[in-house]
Amino acid sequence: MSLQGDIDGIKDWIVATSSFLATQSLSEFHSSESAKHPNIEWIHLMRGTKAVVTPMWNHRQHSIFAAELTYNSPEIPHSTDALKKFNLTNIVTYLPSSYTEHVSKLANLLDSVFPGSRYCLPPLEREENLGWKFSGDVRQRVRDYFIWVTTLPDSFPSRVEELDPGILTLLAWGNATMRELYYVDGDIWWFENIAKQGVQDVMRFLPRSPE
């Protein structure tokens, strides 16, 4: 079915179904059985929501999901040091310019979740930080991360499959973000599997930080 045609009457069903499939894909996450690349099935479905929502955007005020589709996320505080903190400075110059804004957004999203001063790569396991607890809105951060995934350049999945070291680093940090948010708020149950397996799944293919 073409989403560019007349979708009145079924547009909310399409949004609901695509959202359910993306959530289900995350909840059923498991480490890749492939020796070639990490599990990115959930990324394909998450990015598929963009294809669904874009042609419906002008109809959103009439949708039963209007509140969700018109949500304006508060701006994440921007830190010019975030790229250095997460060792992403070189990745900005290494990847095509279409990734520049996405790398910067991810770095600043990470900045409020990981309290340490410097990271080369995501820690394989969650590390307790005594005296510190994420105090932001967890579901807002989940939403911000979902938006980040759905708006990634179209080349992202293929670059993962090619084991591009810069892209794998971004994917590892993305999975680490979901892990940290899950342990702050266990009610986001669909994150459990990727929270426990996601970083390790990527790091099998990225043994060291890209130069």
Q: What is the pLDDT of residue 9?
A: 60
Rounded Cα–Cα distance for residues 55 and 159 (Å)? 26
Range of the domain at 24: 11-203
When divided into structural domains, the chain yields a total of 1
Look up the pTM and report it.
Answer: 0.85
Q: What is the pLDDT of residue 74?
A: 66
Structural domain includes residue 155: yes
CA dihedral sign, ordered 55, 26, 147, 69: positive
Q: Is the pLDDT of residue 209 over 60?
A: no
Structural domain includes residue 59: yes
| pLDDT digits 0-9 by tens, 96-118 | 999 999 999 999 999 989 988 88
| pLDDT digits 0-9 by tens, 45-74 | 877 777 777 777 677 677 777 776 665 666
Higher pLDDT, 16 or 39: 39
Structural domain includes residue 208: no
Structural domain includes residue 154: yes
Structural domain includes residue 3: no
Spatial CA neighbour of 140 closest among 71, 69, 42: 71
Q: Is the pLDDT of residue 176 over 60?
A: yes
In Å, how far are 8, 42, 127, 168 from 193, measured between CA atoms? Answer: 36, 12, 17, 19
Structural domain includes residue 4: no
Q: What is the pLDDT of residue 62?
A: 75
Q: Is the pLDDT of residue 8 over 70?
A: no
Structural domain includes residue 141: yes
Structural domain includes residue 110: yes
